[in-house]
Every structure is written in structure tokens, then in C-alpha cells.
Chains A and B, each alone.
Chain A
């Protein structure tokens, strides 16, 4: 195998692919990236057995061939090569090593046989649809922060992607929750998605997809079955297993009868929460919201250091209420609100609160209060 390729091209692809590779592995080949050269294209493939990324780039190939080399080391080498250089990859005749040459630098990397490289057998994909990059980014951005990190509730360790509602009201919906708060965002159902199974996309996959679409406006093609999902973004194909579990019936926890409506300027609210929470201790930072008339008083008391209060003018005409929230959760949600005005629908200090944008529909957040 011999490949000649632009350094920048190779580096970009490697940076996508090597992130999938775990730093510590019990199976040696999982630390490697599969390098395959055929028909004037070089394809790179990495996997952690749950997630697989393949990216192909144009290159001069003569002759074709394939091998595997340590992913992180390969990436580091290419990263440190001088800008604008041409990289030559050449495997030795016995294919025991791969030589990486650029300018006057030469590296030889130990290889492992490509026949051992695991393949994430994709199986048949039952549904296929495309989403604009910006739409997919929205689905992920708005919900990702609420994904649970508690391993025992594995079925919450991802974003639940499904078609919700019936008839004309149908939408493609992403939901995530960690048991303390919930985030939900809707998109119109794209062609081909109708009837798709509800799937839980694991956190690592979500993060990788998010990075891949960061700077691309291209359409993303999504294929899925009840066990796997595949994202095709330009020349990158990311295939992932899904979380095998049942997402809880989240609709039950979204309150519908919260009649106390608080309308507040989002920026003011966010800044005020941030300000008063400065005095709270590192963990379990509770901020108390006291509402009377058209006035919201935010307060935090830390017996070790002091207290803080701030008043904001708001639209509120229901009965007075005192309610406590984890300030970090409030800030997380506020950061996701797009509009200038936020609406908080409250019931009582022991029941979930609904938070939405006043104008932009499509996303909603549920937050459970704290007892303080």
C-alpha cells in the first residue's frame, strides 16, 4: 500500500476519527485506526465496539492496501507535521509496519492485521430520512445538557428520539432527562421518519455527532433500525448502537395544569440567578424565588458566608409563592432559551415547573424544585 495525501486533509479526518478511540483498551486492536486505500481514496475507520466512524478522503493511491495503526499516535504525528506538507503512507512488504513520511521526517508505526479489526455489523436499517444540519444541531443542543450521567439508570444515558403526537400534530421529538429536570424539543417530521421506532441515542454518540456537524451546514442523512443508528455527514459515516432499554413515560411528568404564570426577561433572569448564586456553596446551590405581585425576589443564603437578594420586575398576577431551585439547573435551562422573554409556569413548591420561550415554540423544559 502506498498513499500520498495532503496533511491538512488527513489531519481533519483523523481528528474526527481518533476521538472515538478510547484511551485505555483491553483489546489492543481497539486502540488502532483502520487505514484502507483503494481507488484514489483513503478511508479511516475507528470503533469502540458501540460506535464506529468511517471517513474517506481523496488521495493518490498506488498500490491499494489496508492496515491498522495506533490511532492517537498517528493523530499526534500528523498534527505535528509541518503545515502544507504532503504525507506519504507506505506499508512494508511484510505489512508489519507502516511508514509515515513528510518532508524530512519519517516514522514507522507498528501495525496489527486489519483482518482482526472489528466490524459493527449494521444490519438492515428500516427507516431513512434527512435533516438539515442546523435542525439536528438544535435537537441535540437543546436536550443534551439534561442527559443523565448515572450509569445505573442506563436508559436515561441518552437522547430519546421518536415521533410524538398523532395525525397533523406529529413531530420528531428529542427528550432527555436525569430525573431532576427534563428537556424536550420538536421538529416537523421529515419524510421517511413516520413510523420509526423510538430510539435512545447514547451520550457519546450524541457528542460525536454534535462535533461533526459543528461547522457544517450540509444535510445529514439518518438511517435507523431498532438497534442501530447511522448518521452520514458529508464523507463521514457514523454508526452507533442504541441503548437497549425503555425510556420512561416522560409525558406524565410534564405538567399541564400549572396556572401560575411568570413572564420574565430571560437575560435579566439569567444574570440575576448567576449573581445571587455567587454566595452559595459549591454543591446543592439552592436559589429561592419569591413571587408577589409584579415582583420576583431571588435569594440565596449561605450560613458560612452570607446572603444575596435581587429583585426583578416581572409579569405575575397569581397568588404569592416561594419556591427553591438548584441554581445550576436554572442557568442550564436559561442558556438554552432562544427568545428574549421566558415563561415559567408554576404550581406549588413541591411540583414540577414548566419553562418555555414565550414566542419560539418547539422546546420546553421541566424542572423539579428543591426543598430548602
Chain B
């Protein structure tokens, strides 16, 4: 077959394969266009998961008829000024989206340029599978409205690869959520046939608006269970909110990174989050985090991927360390707080005890539950049922009295002013109940003490360094040259953790000293593990984790067990130490060490409020 130049339409369809992957990517391109056009209000409507219809309407600047004609051409854009790809301040710039969409669907654009005389009107253009129509006059009061119908009808193969309407609609929703998080000052409305319409009203710009928008999108739990983080260095600004370790999830989908307002998915973020939370969360739990990085456009390359979900930083290490710094700082500052959802879930588990029980009719479920949640109580519906059940069994009223011991004396009033209050009782020889000025606190004595011992040990290790056992026979580990390079470049850091390595000819390193805390270890496996982890996440977590695991195991053995009776003085001492120890709000497994019940919550239980 002879070589031939491909037709324009075919070229656009090929490009569409990269840019327009599924309905969600169309929505992303169109909403980004709307944002670039300076819209304050964007309305997105989909039908059939975006397969039948996607409509994005904004109140932005609009286009003139000449611009409109050119906009659907390939590589035509108003967003690049000159030829400099390094100064990109808009979300889009490639000039690919509209022609690509037009080549695989029925695209209609109606637009009216802002600031025109009142006699002027709107214009519309239609592109049907790459065939462009004439520009016609149309009716529209302001902005631009883009309609995409029958997506992928021109490429049936792609159509077959779409998932169910429901999951496509979900993907659209996710895209809109991400964009909405990045721009709290713009109002978003999302209408689909799958769910009730959602509107996120425009909020104030800056931090308060951002938190309000995040709470709108991630749930009000996030507002109550996050800390503000921030850091700045060399023109790079990191802002955002980090969820408390106790507010964790089973997957990393609740982690958002925005670079110059652009939602990106980056391994960098995942690595940093892992590192920052390593001490608080087990490996399989993930925190909820939203971070916003602002840096000069020259410092970041967004032209890595057609869909622009990946970016490259000129100074990766700077951004990394800044993110890490921001997260760690924020967490350390507020590390004593535990998630309040625990408390709310506990309230949900309380049931009036005196009500008669009828076995075959489960009316208690509807009657004795608290009224539909509002405000602080909103968490009960979303909290993990597992915890609610556990909490419930703790408060199983029948047997509680038998093992509860009550401290009768009136507590000193200065203790009541402390964050964790004055210890009043120990129940089931496991939980400390203490009274504060405005509520009560229940502490899991083992979890709390374990964390205290662990923190003490960790501080000791930090302060005194880790003793290293020199090896009689150095372990020679054969590795990839790139891995060796990575390991050796971090050898100082590794030495601090007790592992001394040095180069051993080409393609191998010699492990000379190992942390004596770990005893006899498989140094080769550890070195390989470290090299892989360094390659992927750029940090020496496996070694740290192993050391901390040993420390944690020792902490577990060295701490007060559940079932041990504590005297009032001991209980108060534990509470006081928790108040002064960083990170005492959760145990080593990410569970809370205490929950707090506000007096208002208790009053609510009795219908006093």
C-alpha cells in the first residue's frame, strides 16, 4: 500500500483517541475552556452518562463569529501568547479539544461575545463527525454553550469500550468535583439523569472559601477532621488541608493535588503522603488530603500528557520536601486531636435502655435512633458501621455496672479545664471515662499508653541514634547500577537509621553495618527493598518502617494492657501525659485513642435539645 497523507478528519480522530477518552474527558476539556474564559457560573448537564448529551454552559467572555469559526480548527487556540510553552497560565493551550470532540460526535457551540453592543447577537456553529457547518446567528444572552451529542458515534469501536452509563456519569462527577475544588470562586451546577442535581455555590476566594468548597465536596466530616497546612519557599507555595490520621479511608482516592489550579494525579503526592503519614497509619489505610501548589509557570511543565493529568516540576525535590514539610508540620501541630466522628458514631449507638423489647418487630431502629443528623452529628450516617458496632458493645448497658469503678470525690476544678479533663471512672477495666467542662472523654487505656511508650521510644532513637552492629562478613548485594546510585546517594541518611553501605565494584554494594535493634537480618532483601522504594517514592521508608515496627512491638509489650485496673492517680497521669505528647490522638494502627462526647450531644440523646 502506498504511503499517503491522512485526511484532516482522520488526524482529528486519532488525536481524539488521546484527548477524548471517555465522556468525562470531554467534560474536563469543556469546563476548563469555560474557566479559561473567566466564567463565574458553570452548568454541566449530562444524559446517558454523557454518551447521549453533554452540555456545558458558562457566563464567560464568549467568542466573536470569526473566533468561533477558527476555534473548531485543529491547533487553533486563543490561550497561547506567542510561542512560549513555558509561560502557560491557562488550563488549556494545545488547541486540540474542540476539533477532536467535533471529529467523533455532533458538536454545537453557541456563543456571544461579552461587551458587544446590544444590537449584536449570538452565533452558533455545528461540527458533525468532522464536517463543519456554516456559522449561523443564534439566541443566547451571555457566555458560551457547548453541546456534545452522541459522543463517539463516528468511532463505534470506542463506543464499545465505554463502561455503563452509571460509571461514566460517576467519572464525569469526579472530574467536576476536582475542578470545583480548584476554583471555589466559581459556582458549579451538575445535572445528570443518574443523580439529583448538585450545585456548589460560589464561595469566597482564598482559604475560607476553599475550606467551604472542600467541605461541600468531601463532606462536612472533612471540615471537622482536617488541619490547614501551608509552606512556602523559593516562590513555591503549598496550601491546603490534610485530614487527621483517624479520618482515613481504605483507598487513596481521597487525595487531591492541584498544581497552579490544575487537578493532577501524581505519584509524587502519593509518595509524600505515605511518608508523612507513615507514623500514624497502617500501610493499607489512606488519609484524605487536598493540597494546592502554586508556583511560577516556568517552574513546571504541563505539556507532558495530552490530557494534562501529569506534570513535571523543574525542581522535584523542592516541591517534594515542601509538601512533606507542610503535611508533617500541620499534623504535628494538631496531632493530638482524634477524629470527632468516633464520638458521633458512638452517640448513634446509644439507645434508650428502658424501652421494652419486642422480638419480631424491629421498631427500635426507626424510633430510637437520633433524628436525621444535622451539624456535628452528621457523621453518623457515614461513619464506619464496624466502629459503631464496637462502640455499641462497649456500652451494652446490661453488664456495665458490674465492672465500672467510680471515683466519687469531686475532681479538682483545674483538672476539668484540661483538654482531656479529670478522670472519673474506669469501665470494664479498659476504658477511662473523664469529665471535661463541656462533655466527657472516653480513653482506651491500652491504645493510649502504647502510643505514649512508642513516642517516647521514637524520641529516644532520634536523640541517641541507632546503634549499629558491624558485620563480620559484609553482605554483598548485587543490584542494578541505577539502584546502587540511588542507595549510595542516600547513604548518610541510611547510616542514621543504622545501615552502612558502600560501593563494591560495578553492580554491587557491600552492607557493612546493620541496625543492631533488628538483630540478624536479611540485609540483601532489605537493600533491594530500599532500592525499589527509593526508585518509586524517593524515600527510605522500608528501613524506617522496620525499625518503627520493632519499636511498636516493644511498645505494645511495654504498655498497660486492657484489663488492668488503674487507680485514679494513674488515670489522671495518663491523661496529662497524653495532653503533652504529640500524636497521642491515635494509636499505632490509626484508631483513635480517645473519643469525646460533648455535653450538647448527651443532652440531645435525652431530647433536651
- B-contacting residues of A (Cβ < 8 Å)? 148-153, 177-182, 248, 250, 253, 282-284, 286, 303-304, 324, 326, 350, 352, 366, 368-372
Contacts and interface: CB of A to CB of B under 8 A. Distances in A.
B520 A371 contact: no
B472 A369 contact: no
A179 B467 contact: no
24 contacts: A150-B521, A152-B524, A153-B522, A179-B471, A179-B472, A180-B471, A181-B472, A182-B472, A250-B473, A253-B473, A282-B554, A283-B519, A283-B554, A284-B467, A284-B515, A286-B467, A304-B457, A326-B516, A352-B472, A370-B469, A370-B516, A371-B467, A371-B468, A371-B470
A284 to B, nearest CB: 4
Nearest to B463: A303
Given A284-B467, A372-B467, 13 more contacts: A150-B521, A179-B471, A179-B472, A179-B473, A181-B472, A282-B554, A284-B516, A304-B456, A304-B457, A350-B470, A366-B472, A368-B472, A370-B467
A100 B464 CA distance: 63
Interface of B: 456-457, 460, 463-464, 466-473, 475, 513, 515-517, 519-522, 524-525, 550, 554
A134 B51 CA distance: 87
A368 B469 contact: yes
Q: Please list the 6 inter-chain residue pairs (A to B) with the smallest Cβ-Cβ separation, ordered nearest first.
A: A284-B516, A152-B522, A371-B468, A284-B517, A368-B470, A368-B472
Given A283-B517, A283-B519, A180 B469 contact: yes
A179 B475 contact: yes
Contacts of B456: 304
A303 B517 CA distance: 15
Nearest to B460: A303
Nearest to A284: B516
A236 B457 CA distance: 51
Nearest to B554: A282
Contacts of A180: 469, 471-472, 520
Q: Tell me the dominant secondary structure on chain B's binding face.
A: mixed
B466 to A, nearest CB: 8
A178 B517 contact: no
Contacts of A369: 470
Given A304-B460, A372-B467, A177 B516 contact: no
Nearest to B466: A284
Contact of B520 (A149, A248, A372): A149
A250 B472 CA distance: 9
B301 to A, nearest CB: 43
B39 to A, nearest CB: 61
A177 B473 contact: yes
A260 to B, nearest CB: 17
B599 to A, nearest CB: 40
Contacts of A148: 520
Contacts of A178: 520
Contacts of B467: 284, 286, 324, 370-372
B572 to A, nearest CB: 23
A304 B454 CA distance: 12
A150 B460 contact: no
A213 B524 CA distance: 37
